[in-house]
Amino acid sequence: MNDFAVDTEIVGADGRYVAQLSPAWAFWGPSGGHVATMALRAAAAHSGLPRPASLTVHFLSTAGFGEIELSVRTLRPGQRAQSVQVSITQDGKPIAEALAWLTAEGIDGIGHDVAAMPAVPSPDTLPPLEERLADCVAPPPFIKVAGFLENVEWRPIEWYDNWLTRPPGAPHWHGWYRYRTPLSYHDPLVESARTLIPLDVMGWAAAQSAHAADVGFIAPSLDLNVQFHRTDADSEWLYAAGTSHIAADGLVAFRSDLWSQSGQLLSSGSGTGLCRKLPTARE
């Protein structure tokens, strides 16, 4: 099992960093959430401020597994909040551009919280994925490309013993997730970053739920936009829910939320996918 905190570490200083994209966190290739995590950690290392407030990532091309280079510069300095830009390249090829706001801790301000987590079964009442698959006639088609499930346990709330005959439903996807290896150290930034992979994969999963199992397309992310609300280091399980209200003219839009096991909203996201045909799709 892989340690998310260790696998997403970056090395460097003075706005120049390197990191490794590991197949341990794959979804087809390197997942958007994994690339976004690297951008966030580089932004925080450069800024020095401890709390991420938001992150916007434009994915410019598909990365491969291996080393990436991260170039970071401050756009707006400050003691309370800083805006930071991160440019990610691999072998000279642009991979992603990211903008992050980071803030100091303990800032005074107004406070309210009317976010209500949906009523769903607790993860302890749901069977592990391994038990589901043991009696499954045809597993979810994305299982074979979701390498991150080797390191992130998923307990689905809805399940079909034959996903090839799954009927189209609402464009919604949700479930419980936890990292199989506990984080080797607790850092508020890493606690925020661990929400990025579940938030990102919600998009395509939600959109595909509205269609028959064999849609003949995938929709790699063009962007991912995340707001970080709070962290909860004591929450082993994370509940992620995503909805794709519209897919039209080759674009797939989604929104997602991620909650702690105690029902606190930890982070929210949105993004856009661009459809492309699978190589095996019939013309």
Domains in the chain and their CATH numbers?
4-105+124-277 (2.40.160.210)
Nearest alpha-carbon partner for 34 in 101, 98, 111: 98
**Mean pLDDT (10-residue bins), the chain, 283 residues:** 92 97 90 96 95 98 96 97 98 98 95 96 95 91 84 94 92 96 84 95 92 86 97 95 97 98 97 88 43
Give the per-residue pLDDT at 280: 64
Answer whether 277's CB lies under 8 Å from 217's CB. yes
The structure's pTM equals 0.94
Give the per-residue pLDDT at 283: 42
Alpha-helical runs (H) found in 10-149: 32-47, 129-134
Residue 77 CB burial class (10 angstroms; 0-12, 13-18, ≥19): exposed
Answer whether 99's CB lies under 8 Å from 115's CB. no
Alpha-helical runs (H) found in the chain: 4-7, 32-47, 129-134, 188-193, 196-208
